[in-house]
């Protein structure tokens, strides 16, 4: 057996069927391909790398360049223009689109253009991640580290024997392993990393070979989850196997290829894969440091995967990082959806425990675990082992503890596992949770006798880590979805900033743009300690809706000046102004007063200006056509008008007729159809009915109905899809067309 000291520093660079739609890519039509599993996405990335696989001497830079050819659009909305994408995919699990380009420069330009087209939608180039020792990209906005050491030592054999720290014994898991050997059931820990040495003796009976996978975009094939040349994943997995009984299996989820490269998206796919294949625990001994220039929204993609993990009952343990800085600067340790693990070690006298000098700290640190001089498996022939240091080594200790909880309580979710950790935590540092050790380390020496433990326990409140709202939700109180399964205290709610959100009992009311926390507290009882859970509420600016009652005007040069009108639906609060394209036909004031200056057709737009609470919005075009005055008509011979009627009641062609806002009475879904019924208006000559898949009615289709009708059936809809529908009345009088306000939107799901 070979043993030598290794203190790692590995750093990253920068962290099928068709949908019924197509998009324009600089003049060519691109089909949107549906991807329903992480493996299908990985297969796309594998095919993307085909040209690299044919090349010799592929470098990390080559692989990073391929990754930057991908653009992620976090929206299901059909893109009208992809600006040159050669392939477009929609990943159903994550709800985002993946666009492939011929070059990284094209992808970068496309991001700039797409952000202009779709403000508020998170759009970014995929982020390359490299597993190179001591390699940092000085020009990168983000620097990522695989969290596995604070310092790099000489890897040659040393004369001084390094004493390994037996963290498994310290946490009582050597005793628990013996106590639990006859427990029923099983548990699976997914190790998202560089793979596992599948031939290592430690994994002979412990590796879940059926569900282990390679999601890396290299040439080894999707089943090649072996750890060929990195060793990191093997070391991490070895800690879990040594700390747990045979009922605990390891699912290897390999995300780093042979060059040591991965991407932010690939790692996110690893989380989805583990959840879909029923992993009980996920170990992520990796992370990246958030540096200036990194957008906070860049973490949304993975946070949403963590939210899916929480909902599925999977516990996610992640390394806090090795920069000796605030955990808030390290992701995914800073995610509200994960359990952040720091590193501790014995002091020089061996009498107590101290935080490792490389370990990140701060208020977001949850627990600490052994991370200095940890003995475990390594790649190589036979039973190769190494001693390594880092928060990467601390994390699998806590993941192993989580596996024990899942063995005993397979129905427990992450919040319930967390409460058990608190029950058995040994407090270090300042009393209670502190910035050096979190709640301390977990001692599971007596966990087998949990049923006989009469000490007070901590309660478990399961709630979403974050809820996103906009100012469009201003008048829509909501209730946080809470599961209170471990405890018997009384729940109370409070807001940390009532300028963002207020609480009334268990209901939350949005009040302004910003972020706050809703603190949910379970009161102390005879059996349980007081426990609190915090839910972040993020409120962004809303979208404004502009109603334009008349969208077409026909006038003559001699007509008097006139006024166009529009209104902003509440809760929109921007100032309404009118603008016109540059033209020789008319001029319009901000208040909507129009001065005619020539003949032709032009457009006027109503604009809701941006405010503190809402983004700028532009209405559909108001089309104005100005014609030459008609030639004078001979005066009628009134003497021949025996009935006494005159033409004074004839309507001026430039005059408009007032119509009421339409009212939808009923929407009835049928198979691929919807019947819409509305309240008739006596003045209406016809009706327009528009329908769309998006609430903002973008890309809406319109059908027309005779003014005598009060219903219409919209056909050829997509079964199972939700549609938004509006109706408005239309009246044509001479050359003037008057259109009433659109009705309030109704939503319906086609059968």
- The residues annotated with a catalytic role in the active site are 193, 232, 392
Q: In 3D, which of 398, 350, 382, 294 has the Cα closest to residue 165? A: 350
- The residues pairing with 196 across neighbouring beta strands, listed in sequence order, are 226
74 Rama class: left (phi>0) / alpha (psi -120 to 50) / beta? beta
Q: What is the DSSP string of 638-707?
A: GGG-TT---STTSPPTT-----PPP-EEEEEEETTEEEEEE---TT-SEEEEEEESSTT-TT-EEEEEET
Q: For the chain, give me the number of helices (H) and strands (E)?
A: 11, 54
Q: Give the β-pairing of 552-556 and 622-627.
A: parallel
CB 724 within 8 A of CB 667: no
Residue 70's Cβ-count burial label (10 Å; 0-12, 13-18, 19+) is: buried
Phi/psi at 265 (5° precision): -65, -40
User: Whole-angstrom Cα distance, residue 679 to residue 700?
Assistant: 22
- 244: part of which helix (H) or strand (E)? none
Spatial CA neighbour of 394 closest among 431, 356, 421: 356
Q: How many residues does the chain have?
A: 751
Q: Is the distance from CB of 368 to CB of 344 less than 8 angstroms?
A: yes
Contact 585, 597 (CB under 8 A): yes
- Residues 746 and 680: beta-carbon distance below 8 Å: no
| Cis peptide preceding 354, ω within 30 of 0 | no
**Nearest Cα to Cα of residue 37 among 270, 259, 196:** 270
d(CA 54, CA 58): 9
**Strands of 440-482, DSSP E:** 441-442, 457-458, 460-462, 466-470, 478-479
């Amino acid at each position: 057996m070979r043993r030598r000291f290794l203190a790692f520093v590995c750093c990253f660079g920068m962290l099928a069927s068709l949908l019924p739609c197509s998009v324009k890519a600089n003049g060519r039509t691109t089909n949107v391909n549906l991807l329903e599993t992480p493996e299908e996405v990985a297969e796309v990335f594998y095919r993307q790398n085909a040209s690299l696989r044919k090349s010799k001497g592929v470098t990390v830079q080559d692989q990073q360049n391929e990754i930057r050819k991908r653009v992620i659009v976090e929206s299901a909305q059909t893109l009208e223009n992809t600006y040159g994408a050669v392939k477009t995919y929609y990943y159903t699990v994550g709800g985002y689109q993946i666009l492939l380009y011929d070059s990284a420069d094209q992808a970068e330009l496309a991001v700039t253009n797409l952000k202009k087209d779709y403000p508020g939608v998170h759009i970014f180039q995929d982020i390359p991640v490299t597993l190179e020792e001591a390699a940092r990209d000085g020009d990168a906005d983000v620097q990522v580290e695989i969290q596995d050491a604070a310092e790099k030592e000489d890897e040659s054999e040393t004369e001084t024997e390094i004493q390994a720290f037996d963290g498994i014994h310290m946490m009582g898991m050597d005793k628990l392993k013996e106590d639990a050997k006859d427990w029923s059931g099983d548990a699976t820990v997914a190790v998202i990393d560089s793979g596992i040495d599948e031939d290592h003796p430690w994994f002979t009976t412990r590796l879940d070979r059926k569900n282990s996978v390679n999601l890396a975009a290299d040439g080894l094939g999707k089943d090649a989850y072996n750890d060929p040349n990195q060793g990191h994943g093997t070391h991490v997995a070895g800690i879990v196997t040594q700390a747990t009984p045979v009922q605990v299996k390891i699912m290897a989820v390999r995300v780093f290829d042979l060059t040591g490269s991965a991407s932010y998206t690939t790692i996110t796919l690893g989380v989805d894969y583990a959840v879909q294949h029923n992993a009980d625990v996920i170990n992520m001994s990796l992370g990246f440091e958030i540096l200036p220039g990194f957008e906070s929204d860049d973490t949304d993609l993975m946070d949403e995967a963590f939210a899916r993990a929480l909902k599925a009952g999977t516990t996610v343990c992640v390394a806090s990082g090795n920069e000796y800085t605030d955990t808030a600067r390290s992701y995914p340790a800073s995610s509200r959806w994960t359990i952040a693990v720091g590193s501790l070690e014995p002091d020089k006298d061996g009498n107590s425990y101290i935080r490792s000098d490389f370990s990140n700290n701060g208020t977001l640190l949850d627990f600490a675990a052994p991370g200095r001089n940890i003995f475990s498996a390594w790649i190589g022939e036979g039973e190769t082992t190494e001693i390594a240091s880092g928060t990467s080594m601390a994390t699998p200790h806590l993941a192993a503890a989580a596996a024990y909880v899942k063995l005993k309580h397979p129905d427990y979710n992450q919040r319930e596992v967390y409460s058990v950790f608190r029950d058995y935590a040994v407090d270090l540092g300042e009393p209670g949770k502190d910035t050096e050790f979190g709640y301390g380390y977990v001692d599971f020496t007596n966990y087998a006798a949990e049923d006989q433990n009469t000490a007070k326990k901590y309660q478990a409140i399961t709630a979403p880590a974050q809820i996103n709202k906009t100012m469009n939700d201003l008048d829509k109180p909501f209730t946080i979805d809470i599961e209170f399964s471990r405890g018997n205290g009384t729940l109370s709610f409070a807001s940390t900033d009532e300028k963002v959100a207020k609480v009334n009992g268990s209901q939350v009311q949005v009040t302004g743009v910003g972020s706050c926390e809703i603190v949910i507290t379970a009161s102390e009882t005879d059996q349980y300690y007081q426990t609190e859970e915090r839910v972040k509420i993020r409120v962004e600016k809303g979208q404004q809706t502009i109603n334009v009652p008349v969208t077409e005007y026909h006038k003559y040069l001699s007509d008097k000046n006139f006024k166009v009108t529009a209104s902003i639906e509440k809760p929109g609060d921007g100032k309404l102004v009118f603008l016109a394209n540059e033209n020789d036909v008319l001029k319009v004031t901000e208040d909507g007063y129009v001065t005619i200056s020539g003949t032709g057709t032009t457009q006027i737009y109503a604009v809701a200006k941006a405010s503190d609470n809402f983004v700028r919005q532009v209405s559909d075009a108001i089309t104005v056509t100005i014609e030459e005055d008609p030639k004078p008509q001979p005066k009628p011979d009134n003497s021949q008008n025996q009935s006494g009627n005159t033409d004074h009641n004839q309507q001026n062609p430039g005059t408009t007729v007032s119509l009421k806002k339409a009212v939808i009475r009923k929407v009835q879904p049928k198979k691929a159809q919807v019947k819409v019924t509305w309240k008739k208006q006596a003045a209406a000559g016809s009706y327009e009915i528009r329908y769309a898949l998006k609430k903002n009615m973008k890309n809406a289709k319109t059908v027309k109905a005779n003014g005598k009708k009060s219903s219409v059936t919209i056909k050829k809809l997509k079964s199972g899809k939700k549609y938004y529908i509006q109706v408005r009345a239309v009246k044509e009088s001479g050359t003037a067309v008057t259109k009433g306000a659109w009705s309030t939107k109704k939503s319906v799901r086609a059968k």
